[in-house]
Amino acid sequence: MLKYSLLVIAFLLSFSISAQRELQKELDSVTTIKKAQRFIDSKNGRKNKIITFNEEKHKTKLTEELLKLSNGGHKVIKREGENIHYKILEKNEITYYRVSYILLDGKELSISSIESLRPQIIEKHKRGVSFKDLALQYSMDKNRKRGGDSGWFTYGDMLPEFEQQVMNDTHQKDDIFTVNVESNQWYYVVKKTHDKKSIKEIKVLKVVESTR
């Protein structure tokens, strides 16, 4: 009986090692986003996915470790019942921007009211009222609870009209200015709170391998 049990264990270990080697071989062949998506589509695991890690938005130990890997690098985290594989597909440095803003909704306020209110807001800020307090008082979107802070954003994250007026070199840090997004009837008071910044970003294939 003991001999039989040992044979079964040996067989299972051999099978597991063989499966791991096969997976490693498959992962080695995945070198692009397109190939990674094909790999995901060919598997049944719902946990397999392509993830973007950003050094500013994802301040975790895992992110730090993955950012240190070269393009094509591979990291495995072993847990009970599974191995989690991370394969680096792309490494980039992307220009990000950050502002604070106050949104005035033209669907709820008249244009004349907005044209009157925005200079008042700017004047209050010049007199020493913090932009955060002004955002809490006047802004008409949920971001008011963050004092109007946009967080770091890049091209494609905001409406094109907003990006065209904010993501350029016209304004200096701490400048305060107005932005109109006519397509949505949104009218902004914007403060440039940070200089543009190159931020490291990686695209990673995450694969969960069962070891049971």
* Largest interatomic CA distance in the chain: 90
Q: How far is CA 11 from CA 4, 80, 82, 174, in A?
A: 11, 20, 19, 67
Based on the domain organization, do 112 and 158 belong to the same domain?
yes
**pLDDT bucket at 49, cuts 50 / 70 / 90:** very high
Give pLDDT, residue 99. 98
Based on the domain organization, do 88 and 6 belong to the same domain?
yes
Based on the domain organization, do 189 and 103 belong to the same domain?
yes
pLDDT of residue 11 exceeding 50, the answer is no
pLDDT tens for 126-172 read 999 999 999 999 999 999 999 999 999 999 999 999 999 999 889 99
Based on the domain organization, do 12 and 49 belong to the same domain?
yes
Give pLDDT, residue 28. 86
pLDDT of residue 212 exceeding 90, the answer is no
pLDDT tens for 79-108 read 888 999 999 999 999 999 999 999 999 999
**pLDDT bucket at 44, cuts 50 / 70 / 90:** confident
Based on the domain organization, do 116 and 172 belong to the same domain?
yes
77, containing H or E segment: strand 74-79
Pairing of strands 99-105, 176-181: unpaired
> Which pTM was predicted?
0.77
Query: What's the CATH number where 189 sits?
Result: 3.10.50.40
Overall number of domains in the chain: 2
Based on the domain organization, do 69 and 125 belong to the same domain?
no
pLDDT of residue 8 exceeding 90, the answer is no
Based on the domain organization, do 146 and 84 belong to the same domain?
no
Based on the domain organization, do 143 and 81 belong to the same domain?
no
Based on the domain organization, do 21 and 80 belong to the same domain?
yes
Based on the domain organization, do 62 and 125 belong to the same domain?
no
Give pLDDT, residue 10. 40
Q: Which two tokens stand for residue 105?
A: 């909704």
Residue in 131, 104, 100 with CA at minimum distance from that of residue 115: 104
What is the rounded average pLDDT of the residues 177-197? 96
Instruction: Give φ, ψ of 165 to 5 degrees.
Output: -90, -20
Owning domain of residue 161: 98-195
Based on the domain organization, do 32 and 74 belong to the same domain?
yes
Based on the domain organization, do 73 and 150 belong to the same domain?
no
